[in-house]
Amino acid sequence: MKLKITFPRWGNYTIAFKTLFKELGLEVISPEKTTSQTIIEGAKLAPEMYCFPLKVNIGNYLETIKKGANTIFMVTALGGSCRLRYYSAVQDKVLQEAGHNVNFITFDQSPKDIFSKIKEISAASPWQIFKAVRFSFKKLRLIEKLEKIAQYYRPRQVEGTMTDKLLIEALVGLDRTEKEKDFPKFKKEILKKFAKIKIEKNKNMPKIGLIGEIYTVSDPIINFEVEKKLGQEGIEVHREMDLTYHLKKKIFFWKDWVIQKKIKPYLKSTVGGHGRDAIYEMLDYVKKGFDGIIHLLPAFCMPEVTIRPILEKIHQERKIPFLSLSLDEQVAEAGINTRLEAFVDVVKNYYKYKKKRL
Ligand code: SF4
């Protein structure tokens, strides 16, 4: 049977993952953009009390299975209290019970296991694997760079929605850049276009730090484009949590020790996932004089639910505006918009008050 690979959709990173499999010479059925229907279909099959990303993943799989996907490449975690460890086992069972006979290739996050699982599904040589990883990593880094540029440009742009128009153009172009040799030219041209957007460089504005669960904070569809909405309201958004941050922590493993030391007055043990990181990031944003913190978490995410009272405590102690948004299939965009609008008013007032006191 010819392998037709798919994988869970994850925001703009999907472009880089697709490139990895294509470069390995595999047939890929890339997950389509997540829609409310995708989420409804996934939630229908998934165990109700499981964390939200698992339900979205199942919805993504169902769409690719319809198009012929028969093999799912899925990440797992080796230890800790995060449910990612059981994702592929639960997803496999759920899909089998619904009559979908697909094969799961599950990899832990070590380079050795990633390499051996890639070897299992492709006939690529070590050199080809190296080149495929290198090219997809270049795309991944550019995606993160573009997202950061957009965070900076949106509240400063002079012309309406130029930044977001260009961001879409850049992501479509990146997806179409199929040869690594064409990548540097594409990157240079797109960055040049961004540099041409008219912005008010010296404009001062309130700043919000976005913290929380990695999938939720970095997938704009899942978080109802919170970064874009805040940017258009004249707020500069900062987000530390992304895939590179996570990968760096895998390499520089002692960073966890540093984080634990810094957050010790609030938490003395691990809670799994990126729970400790959210506390650390909030303390850091407070120290840097930010004007608000938004915490995003998927419903039933134990690490983030556990640390939420700690974030509340920091908010009470340091008096920084704080909003925690729990997202799942029941949450409607209109409700999120109302809460965001109210929070933006609080942040703007806090910013004005701070300025007056200076
Ligand atoms: S971090 Fe939270 S949402 Fe993500 S897999 Fe772990 S428990 Fe689930």
165-217, pLDDT tens digit by residue?
Answer: 999 999 999 999 999 999 999 999 999 999 999 999 889 999 999 999 999 99
Ligand 1 pocket mutation pick from 302, 308, 325, 328 by most atoms within 8 angstroms of CB: 302
User: From ligand 1's centre to the CA of 298, what distance in Å?
Assistant: 7
The pLDDT assigned to 83 comes to 92
Query: What is the C-alpha separation between 146 and 140, in angstroms, rounded?
Result: 10
Ligand 1 atom at minimum distance from 215 CA: 4
> Strands (DSSP E) along the chain, which ranges?
4-6, 27-28, 71-75, 103-107, 207-212, 236-239, 292-298, 322-327
The pLDDT assigned to 269 comes to 86
Q: Whose CA is nearest to atom 6 of ligand 1?
A: 82
Instruction: Tell me the three state secondary structure of residue 215.
Output: helix
Query: What is the C-alpha separation between 235 and 232, in angstroms, rounded?
Result: 7
**Contact by Cβ (8 Å): 209, 238:** yes
Ligand 1 atom at minimum distance from 304 CA: 2
User: From ligand 1's centre to the CA of 54, what distance in Å?
Assistant: 9
Query: What is the C-alpha separation between 327 and 216, in angstroms, rounded?
Result: 8
Residue 358 has pLDDT above 80, yes or no: no
Q: What is the mean predicted confidence (pLDDT) over 258-281?
A: 93
User: From ligand 1's centre to the CA of 302, what distance in Å?
Assistant: 7
pTM of the model: 0.95
Q: Whose CA is nearest to atom 5 of ligand 1?
A: 84
The pLDDT assigned to 109 comes to 86
Q: What is the mean predicted confidence (pLDDT) over 335-341?
A: 97
Q: Whose CA is nearest to atom 1 of ligand 1?
A: 273
Ligand 1 atom at minimum distance from 297 CA: 3
Task: Evaluate: CB of 51 within 6 angstroms of ligand 1.
Answer: yes
Residue 93 has pLDDT above 70, yes or no: yes
Query: What is the C-alpha separation between 63 and 60, in angstroms, rounded?
Result: 5
Six-digit token pair at 184? Answer: 């540097």
Q: List, for residues 3-55, the tens digit of each pLDDT value.
A: 999 999 999 999 999 999 999 999 999 999 999 999 999 999 999 999 999 99
Give me the residues paired with residue 237 across strands: 208
Task: Evaluate: CB of 301 within 6 angstroms of ligand 1.
Answer: yes
Query: What is the C-alpha separation between 185 and 188, in angstroms, rounded?
Result: 5
Confidence of residue 80 (pLDDT cuts 50, 70, 90): low
The pLDDT assigned to 160 comes to 80
Q: Whose CA is nearest to atom 3 of ligand 1?
A: 301
Confidence of residue 295 (pLDDT cuts 50, 70, 90): very high
Query: What is the C-alpha separation between 53 and 188, in angstroms, rounded?
Result: 34
Q: How many CB atoms lie within 10 A of CB 49?
A: 7
Q: What percent of the chain has pLDDT over 90?
A: 88
Q: What is the mean predicted confidence (pLDDT) over 97-102?
A: 96
* Amino acid identity at 195: A
User: From ligand 1's centre to the CA of 80, what distance in Å?
Assistant: 11
User: From ligand 1's centre to the CA of 179, what distance in Å?
Assistant: 34
DSSP secondary structure letter of residue 154? G
The closest alpha carbon to 191, from 148, 240, 238, belongs to 148
Task: Evaluate: CB of 302 within 6 angstroms of ligand 1.
Answer: yes
The closest alpha carbon to 10, from 288, 285, 298, belongs to 298
Ligand 1 pocket mutation pick from 52, 82, 86, 218 by most atoms within 8 angstroms of CB: 82
Task: Evaluate: CB of 82 within 6 angstroms of ligand 1.
Answer: yes
The pLDDT assigned to 120 comes to 86
Residue 89 has pLDDT above 90, yes or no: yes
Q: What is the mean predicted confidence (pLDDT) over 258-279?
A: 93
Residue 79 has pLDDT above 80, yes or no: no
DSSP β-ladder status, 236-239 and 71-75: unpaired
Round the average pLDDT of the chain to a whole number and report it.
95
Ligand 1 atom at minimum distance from 298 CA: 3
The pLDDT assigned to 357 comes to 80
